[in-house]
Structure 1
Amino acid sequence: MRILTVTNLYPNPFQPQRATFNREQVRALSRAHQVTVISPIAWTDELAARRAGSPPLPRGRRTEWDGVPVEYPRSWFLPRVLRGSYGRFFQWSLAKPFRRVVREFCPDVVFATWAYPDGWAAIRLGHKAGLPVVLKVHGSDVLELDKHPARLHGTAEALRRADRVVAVSRDLATKVLEFGTDPDRVHLIYNGVDHQVFFPGNRSEARQRVGLDPDRPALLYVGNLVPVKGPDILIEACGLLAKQGTAFDLHIVGKGPLRPTLERQVADRGIADRTRFHGTIPHDRLPDWFRATTMLVLPSRSEGVPNVLLEASACGTPFVASRVGGVPEIAHLGASRLFQPGDPNQLASAIAEVLARPPAQPTSQAGRTQAIVAQELSAVFQSAVQKDPSVASKTLFRPEVASTI
C-alpha cells in the first residue's frame, strides 16, 4: 500500500528527538509499504528554534528520516486563543502540501496520529480527496479534554468520522466509544518496541558507559517536564525517602517548561546533591540508561500506554508507575509496582519496596515487536481501503473480551 501519514508528532531538524515512537512505527511500516509523511511544525516552535541559532529547514522544507520522505509545512495558529478553531488553522496550513502529495504520491490511505487538530484536519482533507482515513489516538488527545474543553467538539467529530480508529490501550478504546464512535471501526493495537535496540544487558557495563556511580541505587525518570507527567510528585517522594535515610540518586531525562520549578523544588526538598537533570538524551542511548538504573519511575497523572515503560521492560528494568490509563494493562510485563496517581507517600513506599527487594534481572525480552504492530496496522489500513472490518478482526475492539499485550 501507499500510506500518507499526517502528524505533528514526528522528528524534525529543530527537534530530532520528537515523538520517536512515531518514527519507529513509520519505519516499521516502510519495510512493507511505501510511506510518506507530512508533519506540520508550529510557527512558534520554528521561531524559537531560529532565535536559538538553529539553521533554517532544508530547501522545500523536505528531508528524509530512515529513507522515508518527510515534508514540514509551517502550522499557523493564534497562540492560546481560539483553540476551538485550531482544526481549521491546521487544515489551512496542511491543505496545499496535502493536495500536492496526494496528486504525486497517490496514497491508498491516510494515517493520522493525534485526534485534534491533526486527525480532524486530515479527515476533512482525506475524505474530500476520496481517501479513507485511519486515526490513531495516544492518550492525552482523548483523556485530557477536561483541561482543553475547546478541543472537545473537534475531537468528538474526528473520532466519529474516521474510517478506523486505533487505540493504544483498552482503557483508551473504551473512552473512544463514549464519544459515539462506531464500535466496528475501533481497533486495539498496543505499541511495540524494537527488540534489536531494547534488550537486557550487563548493568555494571551500562553504568560505566553512562557514567553512573557503580554502587548507588539509581532512580530514572524519562519524559517531558510537564504537569501531566508528574515529575513534581516524584521529587516530593524522593524528598520523603531522603528524610528516611534511603540512599539513592535521581536522574531526570527530558526537557520542558517545568524544569526551573523542578530545580527549585529539588533544592527545597534537600535533594539537590543527589539529583541530576540531563536534558534530552538521544533515543538510541536510552537502552543503556534503562540497563544502568535500578528502576524507572513514571508518576503520570494521565497516560495511554507509555512507550518508555515498554522500553524499560524490554531491557529488563523494573518500573514504578501510577495506576492510570493503560498502565495496569502492561504491568505484567516486568517487575513493576503501581501506585495511586498524585500520592507522593504511596510512590515513596513503592520505590522503597523495589530498593529493599530488587528483582533478579530477567534475560528474556518483554512486550511486542514493531514488526507485529506494523502487521496489525496494515490489516486495519486494508480494512479501511476495502471497507471491510472483518479484514482486521484480530484487532477489532470488543469491550466484553479481555486482552493482554
Structure 2
Amino acid sequence: MRVLVVTTWFPGPWAPGSGIFNLRDVELLALDHEVTVVHLVPPTQLAQARVDQLGRIAVHRVPMAVRSPRSIRRARRYIAELALEHDLLHSMAISSLLPLGGTALKVPWVHTEHWSGFLAPETAPIGVRAMGSLLARRLKRPDVVVTVSEALASAVRRHRAGPTMVIPNHVMLPPSGAALEREQADHIRLIAVGGIIQRKGPIMAVRALAGLRARGYPATLRWIGEGPLRDEVMSTAAQLGVADRIELEGSLAPEEVSHGLLGADVFLLPTEGETFGVSIAEALTHGLSVVVGSRGGQGEFVGPADGVLVAAQDPGLYTDAVIAVVGSRTPATPTEIARRAQQRFAPEFRRAEYLRAYHLAGNPEGHSA
C-alpha cells in the first residue's frame, strides 16, 4: 500500500529530536508499505519546499505557518496533489489537521494523536490550547483515530463517534544480553529523562533529592534532556545544597540514554501529565523501578510491582516514594519488570495493530475498534 504521512512533528536538521516518536512510527509502517512523508515546517526554519531522503522514505519538507491562512492553503494543495498518488492518508499530531480541514479526500484516512493538551490542558500555552480546541472538532473526519493510551482515547472519543484505537508509542529496548540486575552502589542513583520544562517536574525532582539527603539517604540525580528551566533547576539545587549532586546531561543519543538507564537505581519523573510516557516505559523495559506522577497514560502500565504513582505534586511524597522503592517494597526484580514491559511494548504488536487500523479504515462497515 502507498501511504502518505502528514505531520507537523518530525525530526529535521534544525531539530533532530523533534517528533522522534512519529519517525519511529513511519519506520514501522515502512516495513509493510511504501511510505512518503509530508513534514509541515515553520517558515522560520524552512523557506522553500524540498525533498529529503531517509533511506527508502521520501520526506517532503513543506513550509507552513499555522497562523497564516494563505500558507495553510498552499500546504493543503501540496498534500491534495500528493494524495492522488497514494492509497491511504495517515496524519500524525493535532496540528497536522490544519491543512486537512477543507480537503476532499478520496482515500481512507487514519490519524494518530499524541497531544497532551487533551489530558492536561492547563499545561499548554493559551494560544495552543485555543487552537487545539478548534482542531479537536476535526477528529470526527478520519476513518480511524489512533491514540497512544486509553486515557487519551477516552478524551478523543468525546469528539468523534468513529473507531478509536489504542496503539502505544515506540519504546526503546535495552541491548540484547544487557545486564538488568543493578550492582550495589554507595548512594541512590536517580535518573530522569525528559525536557527540562514545567510539565516534567524538574524542580520537584530537585526538592525530592534534597528531601532524601535531609533524611540521611545519599542520592544523586542525573537528568537527561534539555529545556528552558535549566538555570532555575541549578539555582534551586544551589539554594537547597544539592547542586553537587545533580548532573544535567542535555540531549543524548538513544544508546547513551539506554546506558544511563541501565546504570541507575530508580527512575524519577514528577510529571504533571503524560499522554503515554515514553521515557517511563523505557525505564521499565530496562528493569528500573519508577517513581512518577500518576496523571496520564502511564497509569495503564505502571503497576504496584513496577514502582509508585504519586498522586500529588508534593516533594515529600516523592521522597517517600523513592524510599519505599529502594527499601524493596516493590516486589518485582529488575529482570521481572523488564520482561513484563518488553512483552507489553513488543514492536510486533504495534505493527499488527497498525495493519488492523489500515484495514479498518479501508473497510469501515462491519468492523469496530
TM-score (norm. length: structure 2): 0.87
Match of 1:29 in 2: 29
Change (3 A) 1:383 1:341: same
**Alpha-carbon distance between aligned partners in 2 of 1:341 and 1:39, rounded to the nearest angstrom:** 38
Instruction: Answer 1 or 2: which has greater helix percent.
Output: 1
2:149 aligned to 162, 169, 174, which one? 169
**Alpha-carbon distance between aligned partners in 2 of 1:61 and 1:144, rounded to the nearest angstrom:** 35
2:275 aligned to 304, 307, 313, which one? 304
TM superposition shift of 1:277: 0.7
1:230 aligned to 201, 205, 208, which one? 201
Change (3 A) 1:89 1:250: farther
Alignment of 1:78-227 (within 5 A): 85=67, 88=69, 91-92=72-73, 94-103=75-84, 106-115=85-94, 117-125=95-103, 128-146=104-122, 147=124, 148=126, 149-179=129-159, 181-182=160-161, 184-195=162-173, 197=174, 201-202=178-179, 215-227=186-198
Match of 2:20 in 1: 20
**Alpha-carbon distance between aligned partners in 1 of 2:198 and 2:70, rounded to the nearest angstrom:** 26
Question: Which has the higher mean CA deviation after the structures are superposed, 326-335 or 273-282?
Answer: 326-335
**Alpha-carbon distance between aligned partners in 1 of 2:5 and 2:43, rounded to the nearest angstrom:** 20
Match of 1:331 in 2: 302
Which amino acid is 1:186 matched to?
Answer: T
Higher relative contact order (CA 8 A, sep 6+): 1
CA displacement, residues 232-265 of structure 1 (integer Å, 9 cap, x when unaligned): 2111211222222211111111111221222212
**Alpha-carbon distance between aligned partners in 1 of 2:22 and 2:132, rounded to the nearest angstrom:** 24
Match of 1:368 in 2: 345
Which amino acid is 1:303 matched to?
Answer: E
CA displacement, residues 240-297 of structure 1 (integer Å, 9 cap, x when unaligned): 2222221111111111122122221221221110101110001232221111111211
Secondary structure of the corresponding residue to residue 337 of structure 1: strand
Change (3 A) 1:91 1:284: farther
Change (3 A) 1:288 1:108: same
**Alpha-carbon distance between aligned partners in 2 of 1:161 and 1:249, rounded to the nearest angstrom:** 49
Secondary structure of the corresponding residue to residue 136 of structure 1: strand
CA displacement, residues 121-141 of structure 1 (integer Å, 9 cap, x when unaligned): 33543xx24233222122414
Which amino acid is 2:40 matched to?
Answer: P
Match of 2:51 in 1: 62
Change (3 A) 1:94 1:60: closer
Which amino acid is 2:86 matched to?
Answer: P
Match of 1:382 in 2: 359
Counterpart contact for 2:180–2:287, Cα < 8 Å:
no
Change (3 A) 1:139 1:156: closer
Alignment of 1:347-358 (within 5 A): 347-357=318-328
Q: Tell me if 1:71 matches 2:54.
A: no
**Alpha-carbon distance between aligned partners in 2 of 1:257 and 1:122, rounded to the nearest angstrom:** 32
Secondary structure of the corresponding residue to residue 94 of structure 1: helix
**Alpha-carbon distance between aligned partners in 2 of 1:4 and 1:334, rounded to the nearest angstrom:** 41
**Alpha-carbon distance between aligned partners in 2 of 1:187 and 1:284, rounded to the nearest angstrom:** 30
Counterpart contact for 1:2–1:109, Cα < 8 Å:
yes
Aligned length: 359
Change (3 A) 1:215 1:101: farther
Change (3 A) 1:300 1:382: same
Q: Structure 1 unaligned runs (5+)?
A: 48-56, 78-84, 208-212, 397-405
**Alpha-carbon distance between aligned partners in 2 of 1:341 and 1:17, rounded to the nearest angstrom:** 30
Change (3 A) 1:214 1:203: farther
Secondary structure of the corresponding residue to residue 347 of structure 1: helix
Counterpart contact for 1:298–1:320, Cα < 8 Å:
yes
TM-score (norm. length: structure 1): 0.80
TM superposition shift of 1:214: 5.8
CA displacement, residues 304-350 of structure 1 (integer Å, 9 cap, x when unaligned): 11111221111111111111112211013962211014121111111
